[in-house]
Chains A and B, each alone.
Chain A
Amino acid sequence: RKEVEQDPGPFNVPEGATVAFNCTYSNSASQSFFWYRQDCRKEPKLLMSVYSSGNEDGRFTAQLNRASQYISLLIRDSKLSDSATYLCVVNQAGTALIFGKGTTLSVSS
């Protein structure tokens, strides 16, 4: 079983749509959780951290379920500029990040 698994995608949605990405992780000792965004031919950039209580940043909402080892990202009112690959990332304290393969989102007008 892969350490971090994500929806395979791609997700093709119209502008204004709401889209949700799911991610599961295998190591119950994982302590930190993130969503990174990677644009085509660019490096990954931190989109948001994921906290146990769930957190929101504008149109983006991240949730964590430790019991199910499940992380989600919800994007509301999708914009064309949201088109990118979204990487689910986990780590234990003091270790390197473990990346999922990513889910590609394409928002069209």
Chain B
Amino acid sequence: SAVISQKPSRDICQRGTSLTIQCQVDSQVTMMFWYRQQPGQSLTLIATANQGSEATYESGFVIDKFPISRPNLTFSTLTVSNMSPEDSSIYLCSVRLAGRFQETQYFGPGTRLLVL
């Protein structure tokens, strides 16, 4: 399994500002993912971040709004830029590890963001 930590665990921000969320994993992983979970909704993938290459964004998400860094195999950051109240959500970092029979995906505890 993987132990994933995220910072900050929660924040309240003013609109127009930016917040950078950090994700640290206790083992080296190739694939890291950033998800968003809005209130009462399921998880939506924002982007896939592989070390050594640019992040791949899903439809509806762009690099200017959600820049991602992946400097090494255990760490990644997601920035929520120029925030608006619609960005209020839980942001989750996730990694995929190879298991005996198949890959398993693990999630960090999430960052709860409230934009005023």
Contacts and interface: CB of A to CB of B under 8 A. Distances in A.
Contact of B108 (A43, A96, A100, A102): A43
Contacts of A49: 101-102, 104
Main secondary structure, interface of B, reads: strand
A46 B106 contact: yes
Interface class of chain A by DSSP: loop
A87 B31 CA distance: 22
Interface residues of A, number: 14
A44 B107 contact: yes
17 contacts: A32-B102, A42-B109, A42-B110, A43-B92, A43-B107, A43-B108, A44-B92, A44-B107, A46-B104, A46-B105, A87-B42, A87-B43, A96-B48, A97-B105, A99-B42, A99-B44, A100-B42
Interface of B: 33, 41-45, 48, 58, 92, 101-110
Interface of A: 32, 42-46, 49, 87, 96-97, 99-102
